[in-house]
Amino acid sequence: MAKVKVTARFQILEFLDTFIDGATAESIGRAVVEESKKLIATGQSPVRGFGRLERYKDRKSYPGKLKNATPVNLNLLGDMLDGLTFKRKGSDIIRIGMLGGSAKVKEIAGYHQDGTPNMAARRFVPNADGEEWAVSIMRKIRDLYGGRLAKLIRQSNKKG
């Protein structure tokens, strides 16, 4: 079985890394995963510019007639989306992607991410040059940066 990696390495803005603590970095990772799943559940790619996920060719071929025709939400048994998660490395690096789940689930995730000759790409992690998260996700990240900075300003004011 091919080794499949579907992850994005996300670095806190370099000059902000002295301001961002581990708890904030965790919050950013959690928010990105939650918002990604919210978009996927409604048939949208969490990668900006990819829009709605392409329709299944033959949903009846899936086991147990478990697939809705729409929205295309990458959800059959839930194990692939359960594997979409994050890990923090220090306070300024967050890895987001298929970090959980079995090797088989990761393999299928790889097919969705990049597509195959028989399967449309349904991108769910930005991992190519120039790709970014959807606007709704980027807005959450900015809110979390801003919240952390506002807290530091308040703390500084109390000390002063």
Instruction: Give the interface with another protein as residue ranges (CB under 8 A).
Output: 13, 15-16, 18-19, 38-39, 41-44, 48, 51-52, 55, 59, 65, 67-72, 134-136, 139, 142, 145-147, 149-150, 153, 156-157, 160
90 φ, ψ to 5°?
Answer: 65, -155
- 23/150 with CB nearer another protein: 150
Nearest one of 65, 35, 49, 47 to 112, comparing CA atoms: 47
Burial of 54 (0-12, 13-18, 19+ CB in 10 A): middle
Find the shortest distance in angstroms from Cβ 126 to another protein: 14
C-alpha 15: how far from chain center? 24
- 22/146 with CB nearer another protein: 146
- 117/160 with CB nearer another protein: 160
Find the shortest distance in angstroms from Cβ 146 to another protein: 4
Nearest one of 113, 82, 89, 102 to 29, comparing CA atoms: 89
Find the shortest distance in angstroms from Cβ 65 to another protein: 7
CB 94 within 8 A of CB 24: no
- 89/142 with CB nearer another protein: 142
- 17/107 with CB nearer another protein: 17
Find the shortest distance in angstroms from Cβ 74 to another protein: 14
Three-state secondary structure string covering 95-122: EEEECCCCHHHHHHHHHHHHCECCECCC
